Amino acid sequence: MLLLVGLGNPGARYVGNRHNVGFMALQEIAKRHGIGPWRRRFQGVACEGPIGDVRCLLLLPGTYMNESGRAVAEAAHFYRLSAGEVTVFHDEIDLSPGKVRVKVGGGIAGHNGLRSISEHIGNDYRRVRIGVGHPGDKDLVYSYVLSDFAKSERPWVESLIGIVADNAGLLVRGEDASFQNKVHLALAAKGFFDEDDKQ
């Protein structure tokens, strides 16, 4: 069993926010892999099913972002999962829009959702960092991530979450480099950025 977590804020007003791209990605994974239905569990909503031949629990915390760790810890403890069996999908302002990077452990770069998870289960979980870009001024970050993606951004956002979902099988098998490469090449093929753009 692996635990896949999408980060975001619950409620209709946050649905299109940059901060909710983790929710978007996980919901698309569930949809494309036929996993459901979503049920209220673990201080959020969860569904369970296979991605490829790996059984997975998908969790959207119903706490607000800065309390995400409570929901993650409850699910992880219930299934006796270590931090290494948890993968968290989240927005990343230090990556250009549309870039995706996977890493295990490391810093939290001021992300309150990651801070909460690290406080509850330790730091050695895997992160799927989904680039949303930076507003250019640190004082604008809060309002930027809690704003909706612009209409002009929606094509790459929709393409990206679809590509992430289609390649989730690579992630759950631990093929992180292959996953990153597939996502990058698929987005490049759609013309969202150049194939040699390696940020």
Token match 């999408």: residue? 6
The residues with which 168 forms a beta bridge, in sequence order, are none
User: Among residues 19, 33, 90, 111, which one is catalytic?
Assistant: 19
Q: Say whether 86 sits in a helix, a strand or coil.
A: strand
CA proximity to 97, closest of 144, 33, 31 = 144
| 59 Cβ contact partners less than 8 Å away, ≥ 6 residues apart | 3, 4, 5, 6, 26, 41, 42, 44, 45, 46, 71, 72, 75
Token match 């927005």: residue? 91
Identify whether 184 is a catalytic site residue.
no
Contact 145, 66 (CB under 8 A): no
The vertex-100 CA angle with 115 and 43, nearest 5°, equals 40
Phi and psi at 53, nearest 5°, equal -110, 20
Q: Say whether 83 sits in a helix, a strand or coil.
A: helix
Catalytic residue numbers read 19
